Amino acid sequence: MKKSNKSIIAKSILAFIGVAGIFVVAATAPGLFVALGQYKRLKSYNRQQIKRSFSNLKKRGYIGVAYKNGKTEFTLTKEGKEKLVSFNLEEMKIQKPKRWDKQWRIVVFDIPEEFKLNRKVFREKLIELGFKMIQKSVWVCPYPCEDEIDFLKEIYEIRPFVRVITAGKIDIFSDLVKKFNLG
């Protein structure tokens, strides 16, 4: 099985359990694979691929298993939740609307030195998401991104130090339109 397939299956299993919070099936193994096989993202994979990926996630400590009243309960461990968050970070994108609303989303931050690493990875993620720097700790994006920035503030534990401003006017408007190929 290709590594990308393994990754897709693992992400899907973690997401399935993460969304459910707790996943309970009959104690028989087929119950697990029937339930997981119904999950839209896993339908194209065979039982053996799902079983192997599930077993690997369990072995790595991402999934907890408990047996109660003839049922098997699966939950995400702390490590599993962290892995799911990292998957979400890897896949994060800012959606470009069909029509630009002519509003600028300006991210301003003043992250203390004690959070230097958090600041560095936050800045790198802004670049990856397509933001443009207009001053040292001032970044701009023409598309709605409040949810994504809110998620990053939470993950990187920098919420008190980051602000998002939505503005219709900015003195470098035409320069930014060119940088983002909006005109």
| pLDDT tens, residue by residue, 41-58 | 667 777 788 778 888 888
d(CA 8, CA 14): 10
- The residue from 90, 106, 137 where one domain ends is 90
Domain boundary among 68, 90, 112: 90
Contact of 132 with 180, CB cutoff 8 Å: yes
Q: How far is CA 34 from CA 14, 21, 110, in A?
A: 16, 19, 50
CATH number of the domain encompassing residue 35: 1.10.10.10
Tell me, yes or no, whether 117 and 82 share the same domain.
no
Minimum mean pLDDT range among 57-61, 74-78, 144-148: 74-78
**Structure confidence by residue, pLDDT tens digits, 127-179:** 999 999 999 999 999 999 998 998 888 888 899 999 999 999 999 999 999 99
- Clarify whether residues 81 and 102 are in a common domain: no
Residue 67 structure tokens? 């047996």
